[in-house]
């Protein structure tokens, strides 16, 4: 069940299992008529068809469907213009809540903005919210978030001493990987987010966050553990890529690599 939940399967089709072998087998299909053979309905069939046509009424949908907005160059420019207007984190959150240029907003329940202390020296950035995050409106509150809390505690940190967010603020349907277009349209918001928080260090959680912020195509196993810099309009911030907690849940043998990265982070912050 945990595997299904992490995959985004959060709705059951039936409350109880169904024994398909006990069901009555379907009636044999009638033999197919020759192609183009005329078919003449019986009087009872004509009467039933007429009755159905008279009863059939147009049904209006309960909710008017809104077409999905696919990210394009114009939407990206709009995101840049809107993000640049934010002078505070509250303003940035309000602007992102009003922004309608990303299709992910159509299916998500919540805008997952951030958690922790915005005055902290350390900023952690993941990829996108999952099911639990979408429900609660906070980043890293599911199983991966619980592991992240333990990772922070191992170097004497917690959410009061860190600030946590994601590159993508809306949950992709079924926890799928965001498309490059979706990532690009959200990039102006995370870049402005970094400028407003002004952390001393950034810990990039997972390959997607590292690739986006570092503007590279290298994989996380090549990037992790190597310090780099994230440049903004007014600063150059030390940044370290590491493995995502969700990946560590699937590959616990690689926790030793994440531990090395955490020790390097602690040494840099203490120094």
H helices of the chain, in order, are: 2-6, 43-55, 73-84, 89-98, 104-107, 131-136, 143-154, 180-197, 207-214, 220-223, 245-250, 255-270
Give yes or no for residue 66 having a pLDDT over 50.
no
pLDDT at 148: 98
The β-bridge partners of 115 are: 164
Q: Characterize the bridge pairing of strands 201-205 and 162-166.
A: unpaired
Asked if residue 57 belongs to a domain, the reply is no
pLDDT band at 218 (very low <50, low <70, confident <90, very high): very high
Give Cα separations from 13 to 9, 17, 18, 173 (angstroms): 11, 10, 11, 18
Q: What is the pLDDT of residues 68-78, one digit of tens each?
A: 455 678 889 99
Q: What is the pLDDT of residues 167-207, one digit of tens each?
A: 999 999 999 999 999 999 999 999 999 999 999 999 999 99
pLDDT at 18: 64
Asked if residue 36 belongs to a domain, the reply is no
Asked if residue 26 belongs to a domain, the reply is no
Asked if residue 152 belongs to a domain, the reply is yes
Distance of CA 56 to the CA centre of its chain: 41
User: Which distant-in-sequence residues (6+ apart) come within 8 Å of 183 by Cβ?
Assistant: 167, 168, 208, 212
pTM given for the model? 0.75
Residue ranges making up the domain that contains 131: 73-270
Give Cα separations from 95 to 32, 91, 103, 111, 192 (angstroms): 61, 6, 16, 11, 11
Q: What is the pLDDT of residues 22-46, one digit of tens each?
A: 655 555 555 555 555 555 555 555 5
Give yes or no for residue 92 having a pLDDT over 60.
yes
* Residue that the structure tokens 């009467």 belong to: 47
The segment with the largest mean pLDDT, out of 1-15, 21-35, 102-116, is 102-116
Give yes or no for residue 60 having a pLDDT over 60.
no
pLDDT at 106: 94
Asked if residue 52 belongs to a domain, the reply is no
Compute the distance between CA of residue 94 and CA of residue 10 in angstroms, rounded to an integer.
29
Asked if residue 22 belongs to a domain, the reply is no
pLDDT at 271: 81
pLDDT band at 149 (very low <50, low <70, confident <90, very high): very high
Give yes or no for residue 58 having a pLDDT over 50.
no
pLDDT at 64: 36
Give yes or no for residue 56 having a pLDDT over 50.
no
Tell me which of 58 and 5 has the higher pLDDT.
5
pLDDT at 25: 58
Asked if residue 205 belongs to a domain, the reply is yes
Asked if residue 32 belongs to a domain, the reply is no
Tell me which of 114 and 271 has the higher pLDDT.
114
Mean pLDDT, rounded, of the chain: 85
Structural domain count of the chain: 1
Name the residue among 91, 129, 90 with its Cα closest to residue 107.
129
The CATH number that applies at residue 192 is 3.40.470.10
């Amino acid at each position: 069940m945990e595997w299904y939940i992490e995959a985004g399967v959060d709705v059951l089709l039936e409350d109880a299992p169904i024994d398909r072998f006990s069901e009555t087998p379907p009636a044999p299909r009638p033999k197919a008529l020759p192609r183009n053979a005329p078919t003449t309905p019986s009087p009872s069939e004509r009467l039933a068809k007429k009755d159905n046509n008279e009863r059939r009424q147009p049904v209006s949908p309960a909710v008017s469907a809104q077409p999905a907005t696919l990210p394009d160059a114009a939407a990206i420019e709009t995101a840049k213009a809107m993000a640049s207007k934010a002078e505070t984190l509250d303003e940035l959150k309000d602007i992102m809540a009003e922004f309608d240029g990303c299709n992910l907003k159509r299916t998500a329940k919540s805008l997952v903005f951030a958690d922790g202390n915005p005055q902290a020296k350390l900023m952690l950035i993941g990829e996108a919210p999952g099911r639990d995050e979408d429900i609660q409106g906070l980043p890293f509150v599911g199983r991966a978030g619980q592991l992240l809390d333990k990772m922070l505690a191992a170097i004497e940190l917690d959410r009061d001493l860190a600030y946590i967010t994601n590159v993508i603020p809306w949950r992709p349907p079924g926890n799928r990987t965001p498309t490059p277009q979706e990532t690009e349209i959200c990039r102006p918001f995370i870049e402005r987010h970094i400028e407003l928080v002004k952390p001393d260090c950034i810990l990039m959680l997972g390959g997607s966050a590292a690739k986006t912020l570092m503007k590279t195509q290298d994989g996380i196993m090549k990037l992790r553990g190597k310090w780099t810099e994230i440049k903004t309009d007014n600063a150059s911030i030390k940044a370290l890529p590491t493995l995502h907690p969700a990946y560590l849940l699937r590959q616990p043998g690689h926790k030793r690599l994440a531990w090395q990265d955490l020790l390097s982070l602690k040494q840099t912050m203490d120094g």
